[in-house]
């Protein structure tokens, strides 16, 4: 069984030989990722890097840090160059009436298709996953600014629905490009929770967002693609609805916030999980015994429930204060305990 076959089997809950691997050393890596298309927005040209732009600064007079504009027209800000930034002014934050004239960023479809095709050829027998820039909640969260977006789930459900319809239409040509050019799966990033609960009630999620995930999952599956969703925070109350919607896999960097045992026992036969050893509760401690014990326990419980686990590295350990050597302790244990 080669790497592509293995990851496909894990995401589709089919028989396979071992747990999946996606480690930074590439010797133990079944997946090759392709970034999303290069997005264009005229007013953002020349303002995509962090800096001090007088015109952008004038639109966020309360903010004193560095700013930039993303391809969706949002102004992002960061303080003292120490973070990756956050939206400080959304392109639609002043009101939904601006949606009628709003345009999503453009991209060169031919160039993107060629790029995916080249990366897929280079990947050989590895699984080819592709990051999608148009995630369901993340785009809404920034365009409306998160405080407004959360209120919208109560006061503006019709406008959320219209926005998600437009976002779906925008996403379909990207999925077509992936399917035509050798990709195996699509991945989106929607952070849905705080450390103690989801941002919104499960009832609101079921009404407003579960249908959008179902539609996206169906579009992926019609094209032979898998769908993986990244999320941070405590999202356990929402996962069952996403599984029912057809999401194939979940990329969680904090699997122990709910617990690997819970994920494996409740969903091991219905979805795949794509996780490092927990970056907050475990890796960040630098405690070798705890790290190795947790890695072994994670492997054991998933192997006992179908083995639908892809073990991975966090992509940037320096950002979270983790020595890569600590992660290697986990990797070594996982490699020795992956066979099914």
CATH assignment of the domain containing 203: 3.20.20.210
Neighbours of 271 (CB within 10 A): 22
Domain hosting residue 277, numbered range: 3-38+95-336
Residues of the chain with pLDDT under 50: none
Is there a single domain that holds both residue 90 and residue 125? no
The pLDDT value recorded for residue 83 is 75
Residues 6 or more apart from 332 whose CB is under 8 A from it?
none
The pLDDT value recorded for residue 47 is 97
**Token representation of residue 325:** 């050597």
Is there a single domain that holds both residue 112 and residue 80? no
The pLDDT value recorded for residue 319 is 87
Is there a single domain that holds both residue 120 and residue 250? yes
| Domains contained in the chain, number | 2
What are the DSSP calls for 281-318, one per residue?
A: TTGGG--HHHHHHHHHHHHHHHHTTT--EEEE--S-GG
- Distance in angstroms (rounded) separating the CA atoms of residues 305 and 96: 46
The pLDDT value recorded for residue 104 is 98
pTM of the shown model: 0.95
Exposed/middle/buried for 336, CB within 10 Å: 0-12, 13-18, 19+? exposed
Is there a single domain that holds both residue 181 and residue 214? yes
**Token representation of residue 276:** 């490092």
Is there a single domain that holds both residue 317 and residue 225? yes
Is there a single domain that holds both residue 199 and residue 301? yes
Single residue among 24, 59, 94 that ends a domain in this structure? 94
Is there a single domain that holds both residue 181 and residue 299? yes
Is there a single domain that holds both residue 87 and residue 214? no
Per the CB < 8 A criterion, the answer to whether 246 and 213 are in contact is yes
Is there a single domain that holds both residue 151 and residue 169? yes
- Distance in angstroms (rounded) separating the CA atoms of residues 313 and 306: 22
């Amino acid at each position: 069984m080669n790497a592509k076959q293995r990851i496909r089997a894990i995401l589709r809950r089919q028989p396979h030989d071992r747990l999946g691997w996606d480690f930074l050393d590439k010797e133990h890596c079944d997946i090759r990722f392709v970034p999303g298309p290069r997005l264009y927005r005229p007013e953002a040209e020349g303002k995509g890097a962090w800096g001090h732009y007088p015109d952008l600064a004038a639109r966020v007079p309360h903010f004193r840090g560095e700013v930039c504009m993303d391809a969706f027209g949002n102004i992002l800000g960061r303080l003292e160059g120490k973070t990756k930034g956050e939206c400080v002014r959304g392109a639609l934050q002043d009101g939904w009436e601006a949606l009628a004239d709003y345009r999503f960023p453009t991209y060169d479809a031919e160039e993107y298709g060629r790029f995916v095709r080249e990366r897929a050829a280079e990947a050989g027998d590895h699984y080819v996953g592709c990051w999608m820039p148009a995630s369901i909640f993340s785009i809404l969260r920034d365009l409306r600014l998160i405080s407004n977006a959360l209120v919208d789930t109560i006061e503006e459900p019709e406008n959320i629905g219209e926005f998600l319809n437009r976002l779906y239409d925008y996403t379909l040509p990207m999925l077509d490009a992936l399917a035509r050019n050798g990709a195996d799966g699509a991945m989106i990033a929607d952070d849905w929770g705080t450390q103690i609960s989801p941002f919104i009630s499960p009832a609101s999620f079921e009404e407003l967002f579960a249908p959008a995930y179902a539609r996206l999952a169906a579009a992926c599956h019609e094209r032979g693609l898998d769908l993986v969703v990244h999320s941070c925070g405590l999202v356990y109350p929402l996962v069952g609805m996403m599984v029912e919607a057809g999401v194939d896999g979940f990329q969680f960097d904090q699997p122990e916030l709910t617990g690997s045992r819970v994920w494996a026992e409740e969903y091991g036969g219905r979805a795949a999980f794509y996780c490092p050893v927990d970056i907050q509760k475990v890796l960040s401690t630098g405690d070798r015994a705890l790290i190795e014990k947790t890695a072994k326990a994670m492997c054991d419980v998933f192997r006992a429930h179908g083995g639908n686990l892809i073990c991975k590295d966090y992509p940037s350990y320096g950002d979270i204060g983790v020595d890569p050597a600590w992660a290697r302790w986990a990797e070594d244990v996982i490699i020795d305990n992956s066979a099914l």
